[in-house]
Amino acid sequence: MIIPITVHVRESRVEEFYVRFAEFISDVPDASEPVRTASGTIPAWAVTDSAQSIADAFMKEVSFPGRRILHYMYEGAGKEAVRLRPTELAEKMGHPNGVSSIAGLLGGVGKAIRRVGLPMYRTPTGKTWHYIWDWDGEYYSMTPEMAKLLKKAAPR
């Protein structure tokens, strides 16, 4: 269903309005900005036509332990982001070094992100992040959108 909408725009800003409106209706994300969804934030590449091939290339670069930890994040995602504490991930993996190993393993996954050349985005706090998974200081999480891409890309 299409609803006609009338918008009043100052004459001096008509051109800018048309440019922004064209970006909006083209449904093409700004590659320099992550995409905000109802379930969380994802990288802009995740909503492009080449998203699956990018995810495939990324997962080929991730080590086996890195793929295992991502597996636990994407396997639990359904309609909502899965949220796991580092202790839960360490327990699921049966990792002998426990929680201290989780950040290290994800650091290795971060190196794969850089090897493939995936974009980093500026966060609201001014840091940079890739938005493949998120970390809020207590939980690691992955959106259903990223989970679906990575699950399909995971080597069998």
Condensed to tens digits (0 to 9), the pLDDT of residues 58-72 reads 999 999 999 999 999
* Confidence bin at 24 (pLDDT 50/70/90): low
Beta bridge mates, 150: none
Whether 100 shows a pLDDT value over 70: the answer reads: yes
**Closest C-alpha among 91, 67, 82, 85 to residue 153:** 67
**pLDDT tens profile 103-147:** 899 999 999 999 999 999 988 888 999 999 999 889 999 999 999
Is 28's pLDDT higher than 60?
no
User: 144 and 79 in contact (C-beta within 8 Å)?
Assistant: yes
**Per-residue model confidence (pLDDT) at position 27:** 54
Question: What is the C-alpha separation between 10 and 8, in angstroms, rounded?
Answer: 7
Residue type, 143: T
Fill in the DSSP letter of residue 8.
-
Q: What is the pTM of this model?
A: 0.76
Q: What is the pLDDT of residue 156?
A: 61
Beta partners for residue 135, in sequence order:
140
Residue partners of 74: CB distance under 8 A and separation at least 6: 82, 142, 146, 147, 148, 150, 151, 154
